[in-house]
Structure 1
Amino acid sequence: MVAVQDDELSTFRVPEHLVQCESHPPDYLHDAKVGVIIFSSRKDHVLLLKTSETASHPNTWEYPGGSIELDVEPEHIDESIIHAAVRECREVTQLHISNFIDVVRDQWIKGNQEVRKFIFIVNVHDNQNPEPMWTKVGLNPAKHQAFLWAERAMVEGMDEDMFFPKQKQTILDSFEFVRNML
């Protein structure tokens, strides 16, 4: 496990098997995304965010995430895929990643371009206190209207159309992954 210090984003740990995600995304990736699946400290609840009524997929549940900044001013380009995940987690939830556990990759075609998404299973903390702070989720009301710590059974019982496309199965697969880790 490698500890990485980022001036703006705090310190986080990256396991050796994710070192390839510490590099800048390849130039051929024109539409790359990151997501973070955040579990409670006992790994029995996952953080879900409900999108705003004005979002492209309104009133749906999703895990935090967004775009890797590739085509912006040089000072705002994400240094790596890992740094993009840390930034998005902070921007969307106000929580800071302390440890990266693993990554799930997803890809699909949008128009005539391939979209790639790197979905990380992570541990988080509040910036002021490195202990996990599960009640300290901060949302941007223009993007999200609510958050929920959901158990696996709750996620299983929710209709697929209540989720951002494809995310329900990824969340359930992540529950299985962390269960096998314990």
Structure 2
Amino acid sequence: MSTYSPPTTLEIHPSLDAFRVPIREYLASTNPPLAGLIVSALIFKPAKSHTANGGGAQRHGEKDRVLLVQRSATDGCPHLWEAPGGGAEPGVDGSPLDALVREVREETGLTVVRVRGLVDAETEWTVKGGAWRKASFEAEVEAHDQTSDIEADTVDVVLDPAEHQDYAWVSREELAGGMTADGRELNITFPTQTDILMKGFDLRERTDLKLEAQ
């Protein structure tokens, strides 16, 4: 199987150097070594509109929204919602961040252009064969970055029906309430996924911790 090649224009925050190494090297860097790594992307639709002269202003009542995808009825955890992501594959992905770009592309059809920072890498579990970790990042996608006038319906999300059957741009309040504005139930895959999503919203709202690309 050939190695996946990420976009050459991908911007990566300097704080993420630990995730730019080969996957096997990353897995071996922990004590004890990890058996595997899951990567996940928090892709936000910012509550910011840019005026014609380049200034930014928040729309009245507008809120940041995060992209969630609903797992297919025929896949594991059927009908449950999650952030896009999946397993980092040695021999396919050059690094954990390359895996992030590939998984987002495969699951949503979107191209990651910037990885702004780490949201969480503390979620771990043990299965037969050893310990696994989930690393979640805030990412921006093509035509959906912080420098343009962003509308969710201008981003063409294309799902792989074998894995996911629906998607939604979800606010913090909708996530907490378990339902989208148009009445779809938001049953999340695991409590830890909800915690990570809420942490992502917190990082965007707290100016002292807000993830900033350099």
The alignment's TM-score, normalised by the length of structure 1, stands at: 0.83
- Residue-by-residue CA offset, 1:30-70 (whole Å, 9 max, x unaligned): 22111101101337000010000011100000000011012
Q: Which of 175, 197, 202 is the equivalent residue of 1:176?
A: 202
**What is the alpha-carbon root mean square deviation over aligned residues?**
2.6
Aligned length: 170
Query: SS at 2:45's partner residue?
Result: coil
Distance 2:160 2:125 in 1: 27
Which digits, 9 at most, give the CA deviation of each residue in 1:135-180, with x for residues without a partner? 3011011110000001110000118x81111211110111011111
Counterparts of 1:120 and 1:79, CA distance in 2: 17
After TM superposition, the structure 1 = structure 2 runs for residues 20-169 of structure 1, keeping only pairs within 5 Å, are 20-25=18-23, 26=25, 27=28, 28-42=33-47, 44-70=64-90, 74=91, 76=92, 78-103=93-118, 104-105=120-121, 106-111=123-128, 113-125=130-142, 134=152, 135-158=155-178, 162-165=187-190, 166-169=192-195
Tell which deviates more after alignment, 141-150 or 97-106: 97-106
Shift of 1:22: 0.6
Unaligned runs of 5+ in 1: 1-5
Listed as ranges, the gaps of 5+ residues in structure 2 are 48-62, 180-185
Contact 1:125–1:133 (8 Å) recurs in 2: no
- Take 1:112 and 1:8, find their aligned partners in 2: how far apart are those partners? 29
Q: TM-score, normalized by length of structure 2?
A: 0.72
C-alpha distance in 2 between matches for 1:63 and 1:150: 11
CA distance in 2: counterparts of 1:123 and 1:37, whole angstroms: 8
Q: Distance in 2 between the 1:102 and 1:163 partners?
A: 23
More strand by share: 1
